Amino acid sequence: MTSIATLGSHCALQVLKGAKDEGFKTILVCEKKREKLYRRFKFIDKLILVDTFSELSECSSQLKDDDAIIIPHGTLISQMNSSQIESIKIPVFGNKWILRWESDRKMKEKLMVESNLNVPKTIHNPKDIGTLVIAKRHGAAGGKGYFLATSEKDYNKKRDKLIAQGIIKGDNDLYLQEYAFGVSAYLQYFYSPLTEELEFFGVDRRYESDIDGLGRIPALQQMDIDLIPSFNVIGNSPMVLRESLLDEVYSMGERFVDTAKRLVAPGMNGPFCLEGVYDDNGKFTTFEFSARIVAGTNLYVDGSPYSTFLYDEPMSMGRRIAREIKKAKK
């Protein structure tokens, strides 16, 4: 019997609940420190306990015995490098090679630019900072250690502070991008290679610490505190878009899927997310993508305002993944 497995973090509950609803055996690769948490959930059939997720490859034979398919999520990407992910011996849902394009800033930019998405300018040298920029760490850092800067001097000061705090080692850890103003939106999609159809599944916003807390403090006090606000994701909140924006949401997703097919076979199969901001003209700037399920989909375990238009039953992203596997098996 095929089983569905994932790492115990990020969106594991949603993924395994969806898998159970579709009739699969469910397996969680779980760090011992979180065993108590995950034992609470009866839809998890089996826990494989590890000290750290880096032991995943050592669980291969157990997972193979269970005919398991791994569902990759943000924790897999942050805990394993691209080569380690590519050498996983059990089937990985989606396209494990596109995860390298998510982790590598240059490849990421190429995929977005070739998809004809509106992408913020990259600043290759801190000397060229002439406007508000955001300094981001490589990989799936989740916004921790990111900071804003308006000049080279400002950048150097903040970089040195983060080095002193042990958060980064130096310039090489940072990637500079023009700051995009507007209303943030994280667009969640699912592409089925079986039907060759793109489904827009939902949209969320993120609450990031410290940046989202700053607005609660009056400007005078903000100026008095010597804080480098980071963009560390704490949670997500739901959102719906003006209906007039939906057509372009689909077009952007389709362009991304087409480009991924061309650049990184077999393409953008399964869930993905385009992340960015809408400006005052409703124009979207994409500053990031995730080439796998995002945690913002945890909002919609009973379906979203958009999945409801596509399915006559509650359809989470986790369940949609399991449904695709079921169809593919048939």
Q: Is 324 in the site for ligand AMP (CB under 6 A)?
A: no
Distance CA 31, CA 18 (A): 21
Q: Output the smallest distance, CB 27 to ligand AMP, in A.
A: 29
Please, are residues 152 and 126 in contact by the beta-carbon 8 Å criterion? yes
Helices 317-329 & 12-21, crossing angle to 10 degrees? Answer: 40
Q: Output the smallest distance, CB 227 to ligand AMP, in A.
A: 16
Q: Is 208 in the site for ligand AMP (CB under 6 A)?
A: yes
Q: Is 275 in the site for ligand AMP (CB under 6 A)?
A: yes
Q: How many residues bind ligand AMP (CB under 6 A)?
A: 15
Query: In this chain, which of 10, 17, 20, 136 binds ligand AMP, going by CB under 6 A?
Result: 136
Q: Output the smallest distance, CB 231 to ligand AMP, in A.
A: 4
296 Cβ contact list (under 8 Å, min separation 6): 186, 188, 202, 204, 206, 236, 273
Amino acid letter for position 42: K
**Residue among 27 and 180 whose Cβ is closer to ligand AMP:** 180
Which secondary structure element, helix H or strand E, spans residue 209, and what is its range? strand 197-210
Q: Is 145 in the site for ligand AMP (CB under 6 A)?
A: no
Binding mask 103-122 for ligand AMP (x = CB under 6 A): -----------------x--
Could you tell me the strand order of the sheet in which 46-50 lies? 46-50, 25-31, 3-7, 68-70
Q: Output the smallest distance, CB 121 to ligand AMP, in A.
A: 9
Q: Output the smallest distance, CB 275 to ligand AMP, in A.
A: 5
Q: Is 190 in the site for ligand AMP (CB under 6 A)?
A: no
Please, are residues 276 and 185 in contact by the beta-carbon 8 Å criterion? yes
The upper half-sphere exposure of residue 159, i.e. CA atoms within 13 Å in the direction of its Cβ, equals 21
Tokens encoding 75: 């924790």
Query: In this chain, which of 175, 287, 289, 300 binds ligand AMP, going by CB under 6 A?
Result: 287
Q: Which spans of this chain sit near ligand AMP (rule: CB under 6 A)?
A: 120, 134, 136, 143, 146, 177, 179-180, 184, 206, 208, 231, 275, 287-288
